[in-house]
Amino acid sequence: MLKIKNTWLFFILISSFSFAQNTVFHFEKPVELTSGDRNFIQPVWSPDNQKIAFSGANYQGIWLMDPDGQNLAQISNDPSAGYKFSWSNNSDEILVRAVEYKKRRRKYLIKLHTLSTSESKIIAEFKRGPLGIPKWSSDNTKTFVSNRWKMKLLEVSEKASENTGMQVTKEFYNNRKEFLIFDSKFNVVSKEKPVTGSYLNAVSSPDGSKIAFELLGGNMFVCNIDGSNVTDLGPGERPSWAPDSKWLAYVFPEDDGHKIFSSDVYIIKTDGTGKQNITNTENRIEMNPNWSPDGKTIVCDDRRTGQILKISNNRLETERKP
């Protein structure tokens, strides 16, 4: 009899582990943070979770507001400054690539906006393009930027950020044709081409171990920082990492060849499982999702109304499926 009971207990234990345990998010309906009086796009959380920065129509200028939509303030009106701007780790500086026009001539500017002092300064000027997107080094003392496919390493600050998060041993820069991998001394140690194509919207995971990216005209992928272990996540655009480096938020827009007529925000695990549509709206065109550092909220913009939206996760559960 004891043998039968033990066998039955063993069966129960094995059965419980045979269920796949998946994290199930319960996101609420999108909430409007801006009124729609003017068009805003591309919201990005500050690393300390205290502010949301975003741009105006056509990526002109940068605005800030609190997570509840209060205290809206503009810090820049430069053309193109809002396209893929980036926060410093200490949440006090924003790095941008702006454009200046004089006598029909275009000049690219790498600028730094310091919030605590309300100061802006030009880090570098380039009279000729194409100029890539500036990217912070992990210690926030330098920025990487490509100019006509040549890499530039620019000094941004003499003082390293006090909030560097996890220790990153490798840096990467996307010049669209390959990933350039740097060591801690900013030397290029490898050039990775995980899949064939032109790379868009590449972002490194918070723990520095992976890169999420999409291919021009293709799918969305995840790979290790060295280009290995490539996972095809299927159709998707604009990936944004969850703080645990295990999940991604992204969008799946549909268009008629001329304009986007539908888009929802999805989340997915880096192994391609757990895909969920967290907005599923008919009257909105959600784009540019960005996951908050505390993992509780995703912000995005509505292409149809020009509003910034907040999607809150009210609880987490573990769901068992046979």
Whether 5 is in a domain gets the answer no
Whether 236 is in a domain gets the answer yes
Whether 310 is in a domain gets the answer yes
163 vs 179: CA distance, rounded Å: 26
Per-residue pLDDT of the chain (322 residues; tens, 9 = 90+): 444 444 444 433 433 333 334 566 789 999 999 999 999 999 999 999 999 999 999 999 999 999 999 999 999 999 999 999 999 999 999 999 999 988 778 899 999 999 999 999 999 999 877 789 999 988 889 998 988 768 888 998 766 665 444 455 688 999 889 999 988 788 889 999 999 999 999 999 999 899 999 999 999 999 999 999 999 999 999 999 999 999 999 999 998 878 898 999 999 999 999 999 999 998 999 999 999 999 999 999 999 999 999 999 875 554 444 4
Can you give the pLDDT at residue 98?
95
8 A C-beta contact, residue 110 and residue 123: yes
Whether 3 is in a domain gets the answer no
Instruction: Write down the pTM of the prediction.
Output: 0.87
Can you give the pLDDT at residue 103?
78
Count up the domains in the chain and report the number.
1
Whether 157 is in a domain gets the answer yes
Q: Which domain covers residue 86, as residue numbers? A: 21-321
Q: Of the candidates 33, 35, 29, 74, which has an alpha carbon nearest to the alpha carbon of residue 55?
A: 74
Q: Which residues, including other chains, have CB under 8 Å from residue 36's CB and lie 6 or more apart?
A: 305, 306, 307
Can you give the pLDDT at residue 63?
98
Can you give the pLDDT at residue 157?
76
Whether 100 is in a domain gets the answer yes
Can you give the pLDDT at residue 185?
80
156 vs 171: CA distance, rounded Å: 16
Can you give the pLDDT at residue 25?
77
Whether 16 is in a domain gets the answer no
Whether 270 is in a domain gets the answer yes
Q: Of the candidates 267, 227, 226, 274, which has an alpha carbon nearest to the alpha carbon of residue 248?
A: 267
C-alpha distances in angstroms, 54 versus 43, 161, 230, 309, 318?
A: 4, 22, 31, 11, 34
Q: Of the candidates 270, 280, 276, 257, which has an alpha carbon nearest to the alpha carbon of residue 225?
A: 270
Can you give the pLDDT at residue 75?
97
Can you give the pLDDT at residue 201?
96
Can you give the pLDDT at residue 139?
86
Can you give the pLDDT at residue 7?
45
CATH no. for residue 144? 2.120.10.30
157 vs 151: CA distance, rounded Å: 19
Can you give the pLDDT at residue 200?
96
